[in-house]
Amino acid sequence: MKFESPTTQRVMFLTGLIVTVLADQISKLYIRISVPEGAWRNIIPGCVAITHRLNQGIAFSFFHHINAAPVIFSLIALGAVGFITWLVIKHPKLPRKVIIALGLIGGGAAGNMIDRIIPPHKVVDFIDCYAGTLHWPAFNIADSAICIGAGLLVLASFTDPQAFSRPASSPPVSSETI
């Protein structure tokens, strides 16, 4: 398992987070400018299209009917980004794939949070994967980054399981010490 110095680890994390946010926001800006809302443009026939959909909810438009959804999910995203940043700072010996995964997840959460903060307070989804008449719910680069980051964490749990363990120098927490 390859460890980076704490400074390198933080730079890798921030780079992943910032690149993810920039790619997400630039792609969404392009969609807002060039694709009318509700439009659909075939990119790879029978497989991938570009669309322009606004989503007030979370994944698969869950909770879209809740008026306070943008505020609630922005606060959750802010908490998630803060917690992930704290993890990277608190744990200076994380494997490279965990650092990259956390940068992608944090960047994805921040990218969608930005959409919820600025009017119209809805996330822009534009990638439409389909087969025939079966369509996967539209998604964006932030969603993809979160999924890829989660996949990397699952992979790391198998390839670097010690990264998810308490260091040997840390005593276990018992009910008597709380």
Q: What is the pLDDT along the chain (178 residues), one digit of tens a residue?
A: 566 788 899 999 999 999 999 999 999 999 999 999 999 999 999 999 999 999 887 766 666 677 777 888 899 999 999 999 999 999 988 999 999 999 999 999 999 999 999 999 899 999 999 999 999 999 999 999 999 999 999 999 999 888 777 665 555 555 565 5
Contact 40, 34 (CB under 8 A): no
How many residues can be counted in the chain?
A: 178
Segments of 27-165 assigned E as strands: 40-44, 48-55, 123-131, 134-135
167, amino acid identity = P
Task: Answer whether residue 173 is part of any domain.
Answer: no
Cα torsion through 60, 62, 68, 74, rounded to 10: -50
Beta strands (DSSP E) in 56-165 are: 123-131, 134-135
Q: Is residue 1 part of a domain?
A: no
User: Which range of residues forms the domain containing residue 113?
Assistant: 6-163
Q: Which residues are catalytically annotated?
A: 125, 143
Q: Please indicate, yes or no, if residue 178 is contained in any of the structural domains.
A: no
Please state the pTM of the whole predicted model. Answer: 0.86
Query: Is residue 123 a part of any domain in this protein?
Result: yes
Q: How many domains does the chain have?
A: 1
